[in-house]
Structure 1
Amino acid sequence: MQKETVTFDKLPEAVGYLTEQVIELKKMVAELQPPASDKHVLVEIEDACRIIRKAKPTIYTLVRKGQLPAYKKGKKLYFYEDELLTWIENGRRKTSEQTYEEMLANMQDGVRHKPKSSVKL
């Protein structure tokens, strides 16, 4: 079917063949994608301690400073697991290559040239 020329009479067969191929491609793509995880789960402070591997006083301090995303209902603190994981990822240190590129870009931005003088001798 792939190398044949498609005529008007063979058009329904060609469309059927293409539909089957699209379905197979969708299955392959679905298998390649990671499964959707239910990380948007509400957790309490004990679980937050386990997730970010910090002590309770440290977590209370980070929440008070507004650095750690948290929700307060009454006297209890609640966290979403995916927000905690995102918070950890955003604190990732940059590699030496990234910092070198930033330093180079900052140096190039800061270069100033002398103004040309309009006086000719």
Structure 2
Amino acid sequence: MEISSKLILVTPEELVSLIQHSVRQVIAEQTPKSLGTADKPLSIDEASSFLNIPKSTLYQFTSSRKIPFQKIGKKILFFKADLIQWVESGKKKTRKEIEEEGFGKKGGLR
């Protein structure tokens, strides 16, 4: 395998997101899959209930591809693990977290 010598710049948030995604992927690969309901796909009704959002909003998210889903024919399916990861990826930082990263109250660098 040849390693490229290109320099790739990412923000601290992007780096954290990449690391979290990689760790989740490794854990998922190493964790034995149970044959329980954890792997059972959710219907639009079940996903709507699980996320506590209206079905119409969920349909909008799927049509704009803002949420992970699977489509078999006309049926839209969701997996809990994908939905949980999607919700976690949208977490907004607190003021304290932003300030700890070196940004002042006015959005500029310290």
**Structure 1 length-normalised TM:** 0.52
RMSD: 2.3
After superposition, residues 8-87 of structure 1 pair within 5 angstroms as 39-87=38-86
Q: From the CA coordinates, give the structure whose radius of gyration is larger.
A: 1
The answer for the alignment partner of 2:109 in structure 1 is 107
Q: SS at 1:59's partner residue?
A: helix
Deviation at 1:56, TM superposition (A): 0.8
CA shift at 1:59, angstroms?
0.3
Structure-2 separation of matches of 1:91 and 1:41:
24
> How much identity, in percent, do the aligned residues show?
28
List runs of 5+ in structure 2 lacking aligned partners. Answer: 1-32
Query: Secondary structure at the residue paired with 2:109?
Result: helix
Where 1:107 maps in the other structure, the secondary structure is coil
Gap runs ≥5 in structure 1: 1-35, 109-121
Give the superposition deviation at 1:66: 1.2
4+ residue runs of structure 1 moved beyond 6 angstroms? none
Question: What number of residue pairs does the alignment pair up?
Answer: 73
Deviations 1:56-107 (A, max 9, x none): 1100111111110001111110000111111111122212211112325x61
